[in-house]
Amino acid sequence: MALIKQNTDVDLPHQWHQVFSEARVKPSPFHVIPCTQTMFLTYTDHLKPAYRATCPLKTRPIRELFIYAELPQLVSFRNSWNGAMETAVVVSRQQRQKSQPLKQSFTAPIPISKEKFKDLQCLKKLCSPANQEFYASPSVLDTVDGDSAQSESEYDE
């Protein structure tokens, strides 16, 4: 974040894309991937059947922790520097095979509250006229929770 020009005038998502891609030249420029809503997947639902919800061991007193590639479901640890090694199972073999396929997290635009929309309408006055159109576009109006048929002039007070 130290490479980002702090005084850059940025209002829109595509402008952020440009700022980040131009932030570094050497050793190589940043490769910025524009994220769409379909790229966010339900990793929680996918991983929940494979792993325990809580850690099977107390993490606070652990001094050494070993995870071996040959037995990735086992964690070996010791509570003191010269104590005996203990083991705990993090993933059971039966649960690992039941994981669900990854699905999209969101199938529709994420709704925003009326209060947030009202704040956007007030703050858009600080943007350039070209950028103000983005925040007044139907795509933003469609994501307002509840009755989205309210006119924009109602928020311009």
Report the alpha-carbon distance of residue 135 to residue 87 in Å, rounded.
55
Least confident of 5-14, 35-44, 50-59: 50-59
- Most confident range (mean pLDDT) of 42-46, 55-59, 126-130, 136-140 is 126-130
Say if CB 43 and CB 102 are below 8 A apart. yes
Least confident of 46-50, 98-102, 104-108, 142-146: 142-146
Q: Give the residue numbers spanning the domain of 91.
A: 43-96
Does residue 112 share a domain with residue 87? no
Does residue 153 share a domain with residue 122? yes
Does residue 68 share a domain with residue 27? no
The tens digit of pLDDT for each residue in 64-98 reads 888 888 887 888 888 887 888 888 887 655 555 55
The pLDDT value given to residue 153: 45
Question: Is the pLDDT assigned to residue 138 strictly greater than 70?
Answer: no
Does residue 55 share a domain with residue 22? no
Phi/psi at 87 (5° precision):
-125, 155
Report the alpha-carbon distance of residue 104 to residue 124 in Å, rounded.
31
Does residue 63 share a domain with residue 28? no
Does residue 157 share a domain with residue 116? yes
Q: With respect to residue 65, please indicate whether it lies within any of the assigned structural domains.
A: yes
Does residue 138 share a domain with residue 116? yes
The tens digit of pLDDT for each residue in 102-112 reads 788 877 777 88
Closest CA to 32 of 41, 43, 42, 23: 23
Does residue 131 share a domain with residue 90? no
Does residue 54 share a domain with residue 12? no
Q: What are the beta bridge partners of residue 78? A: 64
Q: How many domains does the chain have?
A: 3
Q: With respect to residue 126, please indicate whether it lies within any of the assigned structural domains.
A: yes
Q: With respect to residue 52, please indicate whether it lies within any of the assigned structural domains.
A: yes
